[in-house]
């Protein structure tokens, strides 16, 4: 068998259904519906200075995602926080990342979720792979993908589910174009979000971002940026945006747990604004750095 150079560090301790186990032993069944059908939910959370960032907001979103697919959480909110803290401590994570995964559990080969009785809880606390620092200074080049975002009446993007193929198809387009992110339009052609990030533009001094009904994941970082912008009396407009609005923006940036605030300076090879990260983007990035260290 081929050795996998992306295999996790063997000394990593993974929380699996109540126990901390070494990464090579952290395994779930081939009959888990998460594997068979992508039936499950997850969260990606930052740890800054040993503290779980925006913990309540992440818990709310996770429990809501689970409720949306009628998945009974195997732990309470308090138990989950305790388990996350245990994983963070066991792996010596001070500044890093937590991945919480809840699977539907082992079941029969059919899709019926009622025929799988026991959800599994997995927690991975590790270092985080960051974008290179010069991208934050120069800004990222992105594309708009031909793959549109899942229709909200088919697979609501607000559910952070284990089925990310829609995003992966768009990510493949980005990679093909030599980029790291892609904007996904919704089924009506309006901007929704990127494959793993939300998107903002600045136009005439106002901050604009697609509203929830555009069909997007309500990002935790998105909410923080909206709060920080309001604190600075920057007008925040949740409104439908077209690709034209992106091209004509004065500034553009992405938000996400992994990326934090990533300036965008090119979309589909068109230069955005002055071609360098804009003043408001840099201000909000600085505010975010201060906020996360509080
Ligand atoms: N949209 C999608 C599709 C995502 O997967 C994510 C999270 N990686 C985001 C937006 C950003 O959300 P958050 O700020 O909560 O990480």
Distance CA(251)–CA(276), nearest Å, equals 9
The CA angle 232-237-239, to the nearest 5 degrees, is 160
| Ranges 58-72, 114-128, 140-154, 163-177: which has the least confidence | 114-128
| Phi–psi pair at 103, nearest 5 degrees | -100, 160
At 69, is the pLDDT very low, low, confident or very high (cuts 50, 70, 90)?
very high
State phi, psi for 228 to the nearest 5 degrees.
-65, -35
**Ligand 1 and 222: CB distance under 6 A:** yes
As a CATH number, domain 13-126 is 3.30.470.10
Query: pLDDT tier at 152 (50, 70, 90 boundaries)?
Result: very high
pLDDT in tens, 252-284: 999 999 999 999 999 999 999 999 999 999 999
Bigger pLDDT: 10 vs 23: 23
pLDDT at 9: 85
Domain with CATH 3.20.10.10 in the chain: 133-292
- Which residues are marked as active site? 160
Residue 115 pLDDT > 90:
no
User: End-to-end CA distance of the chain, in Å?
Assistant: 47
Q: In testing the pocket of ligand 1, which one of 164, 198, 200 has its CB within 8 Å of the most ligand atoms? A: 198
CB distance 161 to ligand 1 below 6 Å:
no
Is there an atom of ligand 1 within 6 Å of 32 CB?
no
Residue ranges of the chain assigned to CATH 3.30.470.10: 13-126
HEC assignment per residue over 85-108:
HHHHHHCCCCCEEEEEEEECCEEC
Q: What integer pLDDT is reported at residue 1 of this predicted model? A: 64
Q: Which of 257, 261, 292 to mutate to test the pocket of ligand 1 (most atoms within 8 A of CB)?
A: 257
Question: Check: CATH 3.20.20.70 for 133-292?
Answer: no
pTM value? 0.97
Q: In whole angstroms, give the CA distance from residue 294 to residue 292.
A: 6
């Amino acid at each position: 068998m081929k050795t996998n150079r992306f295999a996790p560090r063997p000394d990593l301790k993974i929380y699996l259904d109540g126990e901390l186990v070494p990464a090579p032993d952290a395994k779930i069944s081939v009959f888990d519906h998460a594997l068979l059908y992508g039936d499950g939910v997850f969260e990606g959370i930052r740890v800054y200075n040993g503290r779980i960032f925006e913990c309540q907001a992440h818990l709310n979103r996770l429990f809501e995602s689970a409720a949306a697919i009628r998945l009974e959480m195997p732990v309470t909110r308090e138990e989950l926080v305790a388990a996350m803290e245990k994983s963070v401590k066991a792996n010596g994570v001070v500044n890093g990342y937590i991945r919480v995964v809840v699977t539907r559990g082992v079941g029969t080969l059919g899709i019926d979720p009622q025929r799988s009785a026991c959800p599994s809880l997995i927690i991975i606390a590790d270092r985080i792979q960051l974008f290179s620092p010069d991208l934050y200074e120069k800004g990222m080049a992105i594309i708009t993908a031909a793959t549109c975002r899942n229709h909200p009446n088919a697979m609501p993007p607000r559910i952070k589910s284990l089925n990310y193929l829609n995003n992966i198809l768009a990510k493949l387009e980005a990679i093909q174009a030599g980029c790291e992110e892609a904007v996904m339009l919704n089924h009506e052609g309006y901007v929704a979000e990127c494959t793993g990030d939300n998107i903002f533009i600045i136009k005439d001094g106002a901050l604009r971002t697609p509203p929830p009904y555009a069909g997007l994941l309500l990002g935790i970082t998105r909410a923080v940026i909206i709060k920080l912008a309001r604190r600075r009396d920057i007008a925040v407009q949740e409104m439908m945006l077209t690709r034209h609005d992106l091209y004509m923006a004065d500034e553009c940036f992405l938000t996400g747990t992994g990326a934090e605030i990533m300036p965008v300076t090119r979309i589909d090879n068109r230069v955005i604004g002055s071609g360098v990260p804009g003043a408001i983007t840099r201000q909000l990035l600085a505010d975010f750095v201060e906020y996360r260290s509080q």
